[in-house]
Amino acid sequence: MRTIKLSIAYDGTEFAGWQKQPGKRTIEGLLEPSLEKILREKVELAVAGRTDAGVHALGQVASFYTHSRLPPETLRRALNANLPPEIRVWDVAEVASAFHATRSAIKKCYQYLIFDGPLGDPFSWRYTWHYRWGRLDAESMQEAAHWLVGTHDFASFQSAGSPRTDTVRTIFQAWVRRIAANRFSGMGPIVASIVWQSFSQPPPRQDETGYGSESPLSRADPLQGEASASNHSLVVVEVEGNGFLYNMVRIIVGSLVEVGRQARSPDWLKQVLEGRDRRLAGPTAPPHGLFLTRVDYPAELLKPPVGSHQAADEPSGRPAGSCVR
């Protein structure tokens, strides 16, 4: 048996999420039958994160076991020929037999995009939350996000109905920054560029605690220059942790927006954490601004086994400069 790792990107707008559901169009519901058609055997996928309806992914990871000897690149081409254009498998790799997309993950990164200009942009409405009630204070949001970093009980940031009883998670990085963007002048590609740049570049330096110390607010905008009060712009929230509860990132974003609109002080987020009560936190942000951008695994699990199709080459699965380390 071989262990195969898939790296997947998709536009989640027209899907009812990742997981198979009777009578509904889902990512898994299209991917598994495509694999079975190509490999001519039963396939059961494990996935890094079961994204909800409307949520997008650039760095989703799935894995499965197979008897097939089909080369990874041949499988990648065949899959993309069988899948709709909203789903692209951008890498297929044979990995160590112990690799499991769900259980082996050590870090995940999500990014959320908010457009807070007064007039919505028809080219990015599928990928950003249009907050039309005024300009958000991104610096206060960044100050509030600092309270999330570290190991905490995130019970206040979990939607009802989750089966998980352990609500302790570790957040390694929590960033908020503002990116300038011109109205109606290709903002859709700008949104894609922001997400891809975050995915393909290494993360900021870390301090001696192992947590992030560089604020993205201090970095020059690589796309449009500094965002000023007159710019139409995006507020980007990025959260990186060892795991997430149900709707945790969207509740974090909704809570940060409460701070950004100056309804709450940055210190309020500390009180929400300590209260361990969902009713204390802000609303759940809409799904369509959320992207799963990265999933990290131990490097030794990404190495292809001896004798595989990829054993003579560099291990596949991540572009140069990614955060696997």
Cα torsion at 17, 20, 26, 31 (round to 10°)?
120
> What is the C-alpha to C-alpha distance for residues 116 and 104, in angstroms, rounded to an integer?
37
Tokens 């707008």 appear where?
Answer: 13
Nearest Cα to Cα of residue 284 among 246, 310, 317, 311: 246
* Residue 185: half-sphere exposure toward Cβ, Cα within 13 Å: 9
Nearest Cα to Cα of residue 121 among 190, 221, 54: 190
Q: Do residues 137 and 230 touch, judged by C-beta distance below 8 A?
A: no
> What is the C-alpha to C-alpha distance for residues 268 and 265, in angstroms, rounded to an integer?
5
DSSP assignment of 95-161 equals E-TT--TTTT--EEEEEEEEE-SSS--TTTTTTSEE--SS---HHHHHHHHGGGSEEEE-GGG--TT
Q: What is the DSSP letter of 19?
A: S
At residue 186, the pLDDT reads 43
The encoded tokens of residue 238 equal 């990025």
**242 Cβ contact partners less than 8 Å away, ≥ 6 residues apart:** 106, 107, 108, 169, 170, 172
Q: Do residues 206 and 213 touch, judged by C-beta distance below 8 A?
A: yes
Collapsed DSSP state (helix, strand, coil) of residue 175: strand
Total-model pTM: 0.84
The encoded tokens of residue 278 equal 């969902």
Per-residue pLDDT of the chain in tens (325 residues, 90 and over written 9): 999 999 999 999 999 999 999 999 999 999 999 999 999 999 999 999 999 999 999 999 999 999 999 999 999 999 999 999 999 999 999 999 999 999 999 999 999 999 988 887 787 889 999 999 989 999 999 999 999 999 999 999 998 766 677 999 999 999 999 987 655 544 455 555 555 555 555 444 444 444 443 433 333 343 344 444 445 578 999 999 999 999 999 999 999 999 999 999 999 999 999 999 999 999 999 999 999 999 999 999 999 887 766 654 444 444 433 333 2
> What is the C-alpha to C-alpha distance for residues 32 and 21, in angstroms, rounded to an integer?
13
The encoded tokens of residue 293 equal 């951008």
**Polymer length of the chain:** 325
52 noted as active-site residue:
yes
Exactly one of 52, 121, 137, 296 is catalytic; name it.
52
Collapsed DSSP state (helix, strand, coil) of residue 197: helix
